[in-house]
Structure 1
Amino acid sequence: MSTPQLSLQLYSARQVLETDEEGTLARLAELGLRNVEVFDFVRRAKELSDTLGRHGLSARTGHANFLSPEIAQVKDTFAETLEKTFAAARQLGLETVIDPFVPAARWAEEEEIARTAELLNEAAEAAADYGLRVGYHNHSQEFVHSINGSNAFDLFVSRLDPAVSLEIDIYWAAAGGKDVVSLLRRLGSRVQALHVKDGAIIDDPFSSDTPFDPARTGQVAPGQGEVPLDAALAAASDAKFAIIEFDYYDGDIFEGIEAGVSYLSKRGIV
């Protein structure tokens, strides 16, 4: 069993980053963070790398939409998208590039699930040429469908090349109706990163016709909600990163992050 390293998905602090990036990153460093997970990095990799470096922060994982051009709103081919994404990742010093969201409609049919897995496998092969890995980050929509008696997410994982990593968002897996501890034990070493997130366990909001409102998630600092984080962390014995994230936080985001850092540091994750 290895001890994961502490990190923060910078999306958690997106509002304050927009108004004061330098001050925000300085504050995060003061809270004890040394690793962060970046998002929206492809268009500004050099600038972001320089800014992180000024505050003693490193990024070894990052989120980029390369499986769903409709989300990324780009007209490049798949190969062009991968080339730009991986070149930017190299510039930042990332180890793993993670696609954070494939829309709900693509998890209801076996053919679409197979296509998503195939694209990830192709991306993994291309990433290897850059010395990188790729991964997938779940929400809840991946878990709510069954295909011929198999859960959609399990079917997806069964089609993935072993080179593809999984980043399990514990909160969203619980919202998808999964026993997250059993899930993590079953996935074993496939899980290289965790999103440590807490709150009330809600129903999957992504497969409905109602627009997703992050404010309805009721997210709180890790250890203060209903998600069994302690047991989940113990079950993910091969995870390299424990990454704090808030989709929404009703309060001072720095206080929420500080509480998350404290929660994980008490468990030896620093």
Structure 2
Amino acid sequence: MSPSLIGPAVGSGSSSPRCRPGATPYPFAVDVERAIADCRRLGTDMLRIGMAPMSELRTEDTVVDYAKRTEKAPQSLAGEDITLCYDNHHVEFAKINGTFILDILAEEAQSMGREIDVHWVQRGGLDPVRTLQKYADRTAMVHLKDYRIGALSEDGVEAYDANPWNETFMAHFLGVVQFAELGEGNLDFASIVPTAMDAGAKYLLVEQDRLYGRTVFEAPATSHRNLVALGFKDLF
């Protein structure tokens, strides 16, 4: 069955007061019955961890420890036919002792699937198509989100004119990367979408973190229009 571009998925919550000290802070890891009930009520068979706490990603030991604790959740949910996935950002493509954090998580939490976000893959310095192919065996969801280089602000131009390559200018210079409507940035969705489907993704989720003055209605309308123009109308 072909994946849907928009489908139900439940994200992890914030810290739960029921978590024991040292436990992963996502409620479903310590309250599986609640997680199952939430999924049944919402009609979804998928959960995701939106991002690990930054304190868990500091060293190889903390990453491994976090992954081992987190692994208990997908194992508990598997009997209920509920899949748990991890949603990457760019920080998981930092290397510790030559290995991506995302790969350490995958190795130590082998029951956990992936929710690949192509914008953050690009921001992490990797190619989205090759990354989807690499992680095809466990990718259940894909975030479709474009990557755009915006214009340097007037403040940035003035900072450069005042003193080229100063700290203020560099902050503006490095901050031109933007989230974008699909088809309005630099990513090749004509290749990304078929690759995501070949990778076995059940849902392709259109997402945009910031709108830069556009409305929540205008942005998805633009993404929809551009995806249709690329030939993906039947996926909606």
TM-score normalised to the size of structure 1? Answer: 0.66
Alpha-carbon contact 2:106-2:112 (below 8 Å) kept:
no
Q: Does 1:107 align with 2:70?
A: no
In structure 2, give the amino acid aligned to 1:139. H
Alpha-carbon contact 1:222-1:263 (below 8 Å) kept:
yes
CA drift at 1:217:
5.3
| Alpha-carbon distance change, 201 to 102 in structure 1, aligned in 2, over 3 angstroms | farther
Superposed CA deviations along residues 217-244 of structure 1, whole A, max 9, x for unmatched, are: 5222101102233322232211111101
| Alpha-carbon distance change, 105 to 216 in structure 1, aligned in 2, over 3 angstroms | farther
Q: Does 1:240 align with 2:206?
A: no
Structure 2 SS opposite 1:200: strand
Structure 2 SS opposite 1:5: coil
Structure 2 SS opposite 1:73: coil
Alpha-carbon contact 2:49-2:85 (below 8 Å) kept:
yes
Alpha-carbon contact 1:170-1:194 (below 8 Å) kept:
yes
Alpha-carbon contact 1:189-1:239 (below 8 Å) kept:
no
The match for 1:256 among 207, 215, 219 is 219
Partner of 1:152: 101
Partner of 1:219: 179
CA drift at 1:121:
1.7
Q: Does 1:269 align with 2:235?
A: yes
Return 5+ residue gaps in structure 2 as ranges. Answer: 24-28, 151-174
Structure 2 SS opposite 1:253: coil
Superposed CA deviations along residues 145-180 of structure 1, whole A, max 9, x for unmatched, are: x2222122122222232x322100110111112222
- Report the count of equivalent residues: 198
| Alpha-carbon distance change, 261 to 83 in structure 1, aligned in 2, over 3 angstroms | same
Partner of 1:73: 15
CA drift at 1:216:
6.9
Aligned pairs (5 A) from 1:38-49: none
Distance 2:10 2:149 in 1: 26
CA drift at 1:139:
1.1
The match for 1:131 among 50, 61, 81 is 81
Alpha-carbon contact 1:64-1:85 (below 8 Å) kept:
no
Alpha-carbon contact 1:175-1:201 (below 8 Å) kept:
no
Q: Does 1:197 align with 2:145?
A: yes
Partner of 1:211: none
The match for 2:189 among 229, 232, 236 is 229
Which of the pair has more CA radius of gyration? 2
CA drift at 1:254:
0.9
Structure 2 SS opposite 1:243: strand
Alpha-carbon contact 1:174-1:180 (below 8 Å) kept:
yes
Distance 2:117 2:89 in 1: 7
Return 5+ residue gaps in structure 1 as ranges. Answer: 8-34, 36-58, 66-71, 203-214
Structure 2 SS opposite 1:219: strand
Partner of 1:118: 68
| Alpha-carbon distance change, 99 to 178 in structure 1, aligned in 2, over 3 angstroms | same
Distance 1:230 1:158 in 2: 31
